[in-house]
Structure 1
Amino acid sequence: MQPLAGAGSDRPATLADVAAVSGVATSTVSRALSNPGRVNAATRERIEEAARALNYVPNSQARALTSGKTRAIAVLVSDVTNPFYFGIIRGTQQQLKAAGYTQILVDTEESDELEDGMLHKLRRSFDGAILAASRLTDRRLTVLANDIPLVAINRQTRGVPHIFIDTPSGIEQAVGHLVSLGHTQLCYASGPETSWSNEGRWRAMVRAAERYGVTATRLGPFSPRQYAGAAAADAVLHAGVTACIAFNDLLAIGMLARFRERGVDVPGDVSIVGCDDIFGADFCNPPLTTLTAPIEQAGRTAVSMLLARLDDQSTIGMRQGATLPTHLTVRSSTGPAREPKGRR
Structure 2
Amino acid sequence: MATIHDVAQVAGVSIATVSRALNGGPRVHDRTRERVLQAAADLDFHPSHAARGLATGRHGTLGVLVPDVANPLFSRVLAGITRSVQQRDFGIVLADSQEMPGREKELARRLSQQVDGLILVSSRMSESDVKELAGKLPVVVTNRQADGVDSVSIDAAHGMAELLTAIAGLGHQRVGYLDGPSASRSGEVKRAGLDSAAAAHGLDLVTWSTEAPTFAAGRAAAEMVLASGVTAALAFNDLLAWGLLTKASELGVGVPADLSVAGFDDALEEGMVSPALSTVSAHGDDLGVLAADLLTRRLADPEAPVATEVLPCPVLLRESTAAAAQ
Cα RMSD of the aligned pairs, angstroms, is 1.9
Q: What does the per-residue CA deviation read over 1:167-189, in whole Å, with 9 as the maximum and x for residues that have no partner?
A: 22111111111111100111210
Q: Which amino acid aligns with 1:78?
A: P
8 A Cα contact 1:272 1:288, kept in partner: yes
1:54 is matched with which residue?
A: none
Q: How far does residue 156 in structure 1 lie from its aligned partner after superposition?
A: 1.5
2:22 is matched with which residue?
A: none
For the structure 1 residues 222 and 263, does the alpha-carbon distance in structure 2 shift closer, same or farther, using more than 3 Å as the test?
A: farther
Q: How far does residue 280 in structure 1 lie from its aligned partner after superposition?
A: 3.0
1:249 is matched with which residue?
A: 238
For the structure 1 residues 86 and 215, does the alpha-carbon distance in structure 2 shift closer, same or farther, using more than 3 Å as the test?
A: same
1:116 is matched with which residue?
A: 105
SS at the partner of 1:141? Answer: helix
Q: How far does residue 58 in structure 1 lie from its aligned partner after superposition?
A: 6.2
Q: How does 1:285-324 map to 2 (within 5 A)?
A: 285-315=274-304, 318-324=305-311
Confirm whether residue 103 of structure 1 aligns to residue 92 of structure 2: yes
1-side partners of 2:49 and 2:134: how far apart?
Answer: 28
Confirm whether residue 160 of structure 1 aligns to residue 149 of structure 2: yes
Q: How far does residue 275 in structure 1 lie from its aligned partner after superposition?
A: 0.6
Confirm whether residue 179 of structure 1 aligns to residue 168 of structure 2: yes
Q: What does the per-residue CA deviation read over 1:305-324, in whole Å, with 9 as the maximum and x for residues that have no partner?
A: 11111111213xx2421001
2:318 is matched with which residue?
A: 331
8 A Cα contact 1:189 1:222, kept in partner: no
8 A Cα contact 1:249 1:281, kept in partner: no
Q: What does the per-residue CA deviation read over 1:76-116, in whole Å, with 9 as the maximum and x for residues that have no partner?
A: 11111111112111111111011111111111111112211
2-side partners of 1:110 and 1:174: how far apart?
Answer: 26
1-side partners of 2:145 and 2:107: how far apart?
Answer: 22
Specify which of 212, 221, 230 is matched with residue 232 of structure 1: 221
1-side partners of 2:135 and 2:155: how far apart?
Answer: 25
Higher RCO, 1 or 2 (CA under 8 Å, sep at least 6)? 2
1-side partners of 2:219 and 2:211: how far apart?
Answer: 10
What is the TM-score normalised by the length of structure 1? 0.78
Q: Which amino acid aligns with 2:195?
A: V
- Higher-Rg structure is 1
Q: How far does residue 65 in structure 1 lie from its aligned partner after superposition?
A: 5.6
2-side partners of 1:164 and 1:215: how far apart?
Answer: 29
1-side partners of 2:179 and 2:134: how far apart?
Answer: 28
Q: How does 1:35-184 map to 2 (within 5 A)?
A: 60=50, 64=53, 67-184=56-173
For the structure 1 residues 281 and 78, does the alpha-carbon distance in structure 2 shift closer, same or farther, using more than 3 Å as the test?
A: farther
Specify which of 185, 190, 195 is matched with residue 184 of structure 2: 195
Q: How far does residue 59 in structure 1 lie from its aligned partner after superposition?
A: 7.4
Q: Which amino acid aligns with 1:241?
A: V
Q: Which runs of 5+ in 2 are unaligned?
A: 1-13, 17-46
What is the TM-score normalised by the length of structure 2? 0.82
1:29 is matched with which residue?
A: none
2-side partners of 1:182 and 1:246: how far apart?
Answer: 19
8 A Cα contact 1:266 1:334, kept in partner: yes
2:265 is matched with which residue?
A: 276
8 A Cα contact 1:227 1:254, kept in partner: yes
Q: Which runs of 5+ in 1 are unaligned?
A: 1-35, 39-56, 340-344
Identical-pair percentage: 33
Q: How far does residue 238 in structure 1 lie from its aligned partner after superposition?
A: 2.2
2-side partners of 1:125 and 1:319: how far apart?
Answer: 24
Q: Which amino acid aligns with 1:208?
A: A
Q: Which amino acid aligns with 1:330?
A: L
1-side partners of 2:278 and 2:15: how far apart?
Answer: 59
